[in-house]
Amino acid sequence: MATFDRFDICEAYAALEADYNAGGWLQERPSNQRRKEACSVQLDRIGFKPGAGWRGYDSLSDNGKEIYEGAVERLGLPWHPSAGTPAQEELREVLASGLFESAEEPYFTWRGCEVNLVRGCRPVGNDVYDVKGYRSLDDARGGEDNLIEFRCCGECLNYAVNGEK
Ligand SMILES: [Zn+2]
């Protein structure tokens, strides 16, 4: 359980803001916008400025990481900041449609999983399955031009198929 520590909280939210604002997630939702602003105000008030060596999430204390992860869960954000980009949305549509097939055996690659759907997923250096499929029946009817191929880790695949994290 995360403990209340004002510095940890501010650092965690600074990391969240740095990680997620590029993807637009924090800005798109009115409630998140409100939280973000509330945090910015708070950060200003205590004079918090990340130093040059500050590396966002990686620089957080264990408590800060718990706060960060709790916020990600509560706000319904994707587990990786880069998640939620148009390209990844496309891959998730394929997984959601069920119109895909995956290779029997995974293989290791430093290029990692392209989907980034769950916390256990690593975008670099991961065992992945080659997956190919269509986003919709219409796409499938349209033929192979619409076939989308990508690398997906077991965690993301399991979540897509069974709905379990
Ligand atoms: Zn994954």
Q: What is the DSSP string of 56-120?
A: GGGGS-HHHHHHHHHHHHHHT--SSTTTTSHHHHHHHHHHHHT-EEE-SS-EEETT--S---STT
CA of 120 to the centre of ligand 1 (A): 7
Instruction: State both tokens at 118.
Output: 């769950």
The secondary structure of the chain in percent helix, strand, coil, rounded to multiples of 5, reads 50, 10, 40
CA of 112 to the centre of ligand 1 (A): 8
CA of 103 to the centre of ligand 1 (A): 15
Verify that 114 and 48 share a domain, yes or no: no
What's the number of domains the chain is made of? 2
Task: Map residue 146 onto helix, strand or coil.
Answer: helix
Asked if residue 80 is part of any domain, the answer here is no
For 119, other C-beta atoms within 10 Å of its C-beta total 14
Asked if residue 108 is part of any domain, the answer here is yes
Which segments in the chain show pLDDT lower than 50? Answer: 23-25, 27-30, 32
CA of 123 to the centre of ligand 1 (A): 7
Q: What is the pTM of this model?
A: 0.54
Verify that 91 and 156 share a domain, yes or no: yes
Verify that 50 and 114 share a domain, yes or no: no
Question: Residue 102: which domain range?
Answer: 86-162
CA of 128 to the centre of ligand 1 (A): 8
CA of 87 to the centre of ligand 1 (A): 14
Verify that 66 and 90 share a domain, yes or no: no
CA of 117 to the centre of ligand 1 (A): 6
For 92, other C-beta atoms within 10 Å of its C-beta total 19
User: Residue 31 has what pLDDT?
Assistant: 52
Verify that 45 and 112 share a domain, yes or no: no
User: Residue 130 has what pLDDT?
Assistant: 96
**33-42: long-range contacts at Cβ-Cβ below 8 A with a sequence spacing of 24 or more?**
35/75, 39/10, 39/13, 39/14, 42/10, 42/13
Verify that 71 and 94 share a domain, yes or no: no
CA of 65 to the centre of ligand 1 (A): 20
User: Residue 131 has what pLDDT?
Assistant: 96
Asked if residue 19 is part of any domain, the answer here is yes
100, 139 contact by CB (below 8 A) = no
CA of 17 to the centre of ligand 1 (A): 22
Q: Which of 27, 53, 75 is the last residue of a domain?
A: 75
Verify that 147 and 94 share a domain, yes or no: yes
Verify that 64 and 11 share a domain, yes or no: yes
